[in-house]
C-alpha cells in the first residue's frame, strides 16, 4: 500500500514585482495557511518517508512555514519537472518515487495537481472529496490518495482511493475565500 499526498503551495503574492513567476513569494495569508496546515499535520500525526517538491519560491516557502507549524521537517528532493507540470508529467514524478517510501508528499502547483487527482481517483457517485477537488483545489490544500501497489511505477489512472482532503479554510474560516466586495 502506498499513499501519495499532494500539497498545493500556499497563497502567493501578486503584488511583489518579480521578474519571473518562479520567484513569486507567499503573501501574509499564505504564510498563515502553511503554518496552520503544518499544525494540522502535527495534530494528525502524519508522517512522510519522501518529499518531492517544485523548487519554485512559493513551494520552498510553503514547506518552510509548514515545518514551522509541524515542529519538524523532512528534507525535500527538488524536482524541476513539478513546476507548472501537466498531470502526465506529475505522474512520471510519482513513478520515480523510491519504492522504500510508503508515504510520499509532493508540493507543487495547479492546474496540474487538480488534474492529477482527477486522473488518479475514479469518478464515482457520492465521493464528496473528489467532487470538492473538481470544484476547486485551493492554495495550501492537501489531498491524500492511497494505492494498492507495491511499486510507485504501478500507480495509474483511476486506481487511487481518496483518503483525506484538508483545506486551510476547513481549519480556520479566516483562511477561506475572501467574500466579494471586500
Q: Give the residue numbers of the binding site for substrate.
A: 58
Binding-site positions read 58
36: how many CB neighbours lie within 10 A of its CB? Answer: 22
HEC string for 68-92: HHHCCCCCCEECHHHCCCCHHHHHH
Which residues on adjacent β-strands are paired with residue 144?
5, 164
133: how many CB neighbours lie within 10 A of its CB? Answer: 24
Please state, in angstroms and rounded to a whole number, the distance separating the CA atoms of residues 35 and 14: 20
- All three cell numbers of 77, joined, read 528532493
Q: Is the peptide bond before 111 cis (omega within 30 degrees of 0)?
A: yes
Beta strand segments in the chain, E: 2-8, 50-53, 77-78, 103-108, 142-147, 161-166
Amino acid at each position: 500500500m502506498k499513499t501519495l499526498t499532494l500539497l498545493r503551495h500556499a497563497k502567493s503574492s501578486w503584488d511583489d514585482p518579480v521578474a519571473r513567476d518562479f520567484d513569486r513569494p507567499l503573501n501574509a495569508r499564505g504564510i498563515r495557511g502553511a503554518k496552520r496546515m503544518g499544525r494540522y499535520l502535527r495534530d494528525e500525526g502524519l508522517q512522510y518517508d519522501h518529499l518531492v517538491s517544485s523548487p519554485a519560491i512559493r513551494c520552498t516557502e510553503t514547506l518552510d512555514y509548514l515545518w514551522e507549524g509541524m515542529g519538524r521537517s523532512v528534507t525535500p528532493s527538488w524536482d524541476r519537472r513539478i513546476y507548472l507540470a501537466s498531470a502526465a508529467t506529475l505522474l512520471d514524478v510519482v513513478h520515480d518515487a523510491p519504492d522504500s517510501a510508503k508515504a510520499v508528499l509532493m508540493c507543487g502547483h495547479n492546474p496540474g495537481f487538480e488534474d492529477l487527482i482527477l486522473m488518479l481517483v475514479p469518478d464515482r457517485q457520492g465521493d464528496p472529496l473528489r467532487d470538492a477537488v473538481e470544484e476547486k483545489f485551493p492554495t495550501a490544500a492537501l489531498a491524500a490518495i492511497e494505492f494498492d501497489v507495491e511499486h510507485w511505477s504501478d500507480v495509474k489512472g483511476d486506481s487511487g482511493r481518496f483518503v483525506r482532503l484538508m483545506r486551510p479554510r476547513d481549519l480556520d474560516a479566516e483562511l477561506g475565500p475572501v467574500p466579494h466586495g471586500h
